[in-house]
Structure 1
Amino acid sequence: MTDNQIIKLMDGPSDVWQRALYDEYCKYVYTIAANNLRHCGTAEDIEECVADIFIDIFCTVQSGKAYNDNLKFIISTIAKRNSIDLFRRLSLKNKRTVPIDELAPNYEPSENNLESTSERKEVKGILIDCVNKLGEPDSSIIIDHYYYGRSSGEIASEHNMTAYSVQKRIQRARKKKKNLLFKAGVDAEW
């Protein structure tokens, strides 16, 4: 079923177009949620997130907010935002950080780029060592800021600091990391 067909169904009963929309986009939404929650959520968390996403989708579409007849765009935006929000809540609740070596998606090297893959793994290992050498709380702050995308205020409340001091620690930690990478013989772009 196309988006235009679903939009035409919206003139009728809500249960009909909602079922059509759900049937058309369920796998898509589940994939987005599963990808964002795979490191911290259970299967139940993912299913609950999918249900919440569809509730938000139905409310948004029914309210008539502008989506310019592009359902896939609004669905993907709502799915990404809701699943990332749940990821952050679960990570904070569990006070669990994901090891850096688990962050990259599974990548199977081919024979053509084996050398490149080997080099990337070596650089990634050096980067992990450099971040760990920063010590606490700097290493946690760097991971929270750059991986989890948390703001200075959010990080500050967790570490009992001010947002300004978190920003200064990030600046200093970046300089330290850059020096450590340089000493290890790695280009500063990493």
Structure 2
Amino acid sequence: MTSRELTAMMQRSAVDCHKALVKEYGRYVYAIVYNKLRSCGTSEDIEECVSDVFADLFMKCEFDLSSENDIKYLIGTIAKRKAIDSFRSLTARANHMTETDEDDMRELVADFSVDEHVDRSELRQILLDKIDELGEPDSTILIQKFYYNRNSKEIARSVSMTAAAVRQRCSRAMDKLRTKLVEVGMGR
């Protein structure tokens, strides 16, 4: 599709133009975004980025009426840039913990009186087993919060609860986990 064809189609019907662009270039954009985000994003993140590419194309781009150039390169460039921005955002979010999450982790770690020479993989396995013993949704909440660095709002969506309920369950689950760790000699 050329810029001239796109402009003519846009003048007739913006909706039809949008549908035609997504139909013609949707797989192309998806492939670009998927290749950039597959290592750090969920399928929802990828689909959201694809939608952002087309939204950006429709909102920010002015098409040259006289151009006979294929717009595939323009769409590809926008897709690559959006995917890179999403990649940076997703990896920054995964590497960033909020202050309350850090405080909770410090508190949990402070409760351990484990010799420095204990194999970390054994410690992790015991911790995961004790978290699993908490049952659902507590185990899911703790895993998502401390292993995947998700906030209460994100967790709430995945367990069909409110963010406030997730925070309350998390607090109670931490207390239960401390008790379980004390029982096996890993806490005070």
Shorter-chain TM-score range: 0.3 to 0.5
Max Rg structure: 2
TM-score (norm 2): 0.45
By relative contact order (CA 8 Å, sep 6+), the higher-ranking structure is: 2
TM-score (norm 1): 0.45
